[in-house]
Amino acid sequence: MDYLKFLEQKEIMDRPSGFDVKPEDLNSVLFDWQALLVSWALKRGRAALFEDCGLGKTIQQLVWGEQVSRHINGPVLILAPLAVAEQTVEEGRRFGIKVNLCRNKDDVKNGINITNYEKLHKFDTSIFPGVVLDESGILKNFAGATRNALIDAFKNTPYRLACTATPAPNDWIELGNHAEFLGVMTRSEMLATFFINDSGDTGKWRLKGHIKDNYFWKWMSSWSVMMSKPSDLGFDDDGFILPEITYHEHFVDSDFSLNGKGRQGFFPQYVKMDLQGRRRIRRGTLDDRVQIAADFINETDDRWVIWCGLNDEGTSLTKLIDGAVEVAGRHDNDEKAKKMMDFARGDIQRIVTKPDIAGHGMNWQVCHRIAFVGLSDSWEDFYQATRRVWRFGQTKSVDVHIFLAKQEGKVLKNVMRKDDQAQKMIQAMVNYTKELTKHEIMQSSRVFVEYDPQTEMEVPNWLIN
């Protein structure tokens, strides 16, 4: 026996633990490829859908939840970011699927229930045989309290579904958080099985040589689907081709950059570009950046999403921009959710908020113009905030305007570098798993064989007696 055959016998695959439903028996609103994915996820029992923004993860998870609830005759819980819960209720109504919005355990009903992640502590999670994590990228921080709470809360839940476009925004090893939530393998087991650390840096791991080209990705495709468009599974991309997106950079001159004297005090001519230095620059140039951004936006009649990172930025932008409404951390969750939904419906012309408040899950194709008034170093924040608007279903070309002080040019370069790396990583993940995923899903679809007996059989007397 050669070494490769020996390894094949040692393959670690996650075995199905779900139940069979034919794709054609699912809700007719699904596209063919969506129905195939939901059917596969139901058969898996515990699965992840890593699909790009706008591919319909919401309707897929609703149909999945509908089927699980029927199968177990019990309640299913969907956890979602702020305001996404309300949006999901509306989408469910549009598709003929009832979704019950819950504030606490007393609101739970049989069927599909949904709440925000912030309210998880108000529920008895043991009563839910099925759970969905919408925007499950929340699991990415392997040392985070939220990640640990989610894994602990649902470790005995038989049916689990995780849905996100960014399962591993920084590194492949972040995929281990999803594997652990789904009960496939703990993150530490995944590292020990598939990765090696030979750098002395506990944060740097690489795939072991003998599994790099196949075994890790085959294991991944046994419990997850990674796709950026329907053609990744061999389907037509019609209706799922993104419109053009254009990035416009606005570098702002300010007192800070000219003479070291900012609006909020004196600064040295040279500021070290570490985290603290970047924050000083951002605060020192705030008034100039905000004014230029507001003047630019007010010259248009368009609907805008304006992303900021500082409270003072948000307050100033809202005062200076015509028709702007702010969604800020100081507002209670009900107020935040109402404003975010009002913008999604087109009732608000311009919305000012932060990526960590509204940057995940919302469908804002009603708008095609975005402004970032300042940037952090987080690629995921930039990607997700942009994707609220630039997503499948957007019918217009999208313009993204970035307003920065000249000294912040390195921040923009850093984010764009991360974006390039992330897109290459995502595409590599799709390419690695594409054929394996198609094989896995098509194989699952072939398990539905109609039994049509044609020959009569005589039963022996000893069986009858």
Do 245-408 and 7-239 fall under one CATH topology?
A: yes
**Strand spans (E) along 212-315:** 224-227, 245-252, 261-262, 265-266, 304-307
Q: Where are the domains of the chain?
A: 7-239, 245-408
The Cα–Cα gap between 189 and 255 comes to 54
pLDDT of res. 279: 81
The Cα–Cα gap between 99 and 382 comes to 30
pTM of the shown model: 0.84
Sheet holding 130-134, edge to edge: 99-101, 111-116, 75-80, 130-134, 159-163, 46-51, 224-227
Token pair 């010259």 in the structure block, residue: 299
For the chain, what percentages of helix, strand and coil (3-state, to nearest 5) are there? 45, 15, 40
User: Per the structure block, which two tokens stand in for 409?
Assistant: 């040019």
Q: How far is CA 302 from CA 137, 247, 323, 324, 367, in A?
A: 31, 17, 11, 12, 8
> Mean pLDDT for each 10-residue chunk of the chain (465 residues)?
51 79 94 95 96 94 97 96 94 95 96 96 96 93 82 96 88 87 93 79 68 73 91 90 95 61 40 70 91 97 96 97 96 94 96 94 95 90 94 94 89 87 80 78 55 46 48
Give the number of other CB atoms < 10 A from CB of residue 90. Answer: 14
Asked if 380 contacts 139 with a C-beta cutoff of 8 angstroms, the reply is no
Is the domain 245-408 a CATH 3.60.15.10 member? no
- DSSP lists the bridge partners of residue 77 as 113, 131
pLDDT of res. 341: 96
Secondary structure letter of residue 323 according to DSSP: T
Fold of 7-239: Rossmann fold (3.40.50)
User: What is the CA angle 346-305-252, rounded to 5?
Assistant: 150
pLDDT of res. 270: 43
Give backbone dihedrals phi and psi of 257, rounded to 5 degrees, phi first: -80, -20
Cα 363 from chain centroid (whole Å)? 12
- Sign, CA dihedral 311-312-314-315, equals positive
Token pair 């997106």 in the structure block, residue: 245
Among 63, 11, 15, residue whose Cα is nearest residue 183: 15
Tell me how long the chain is. 465
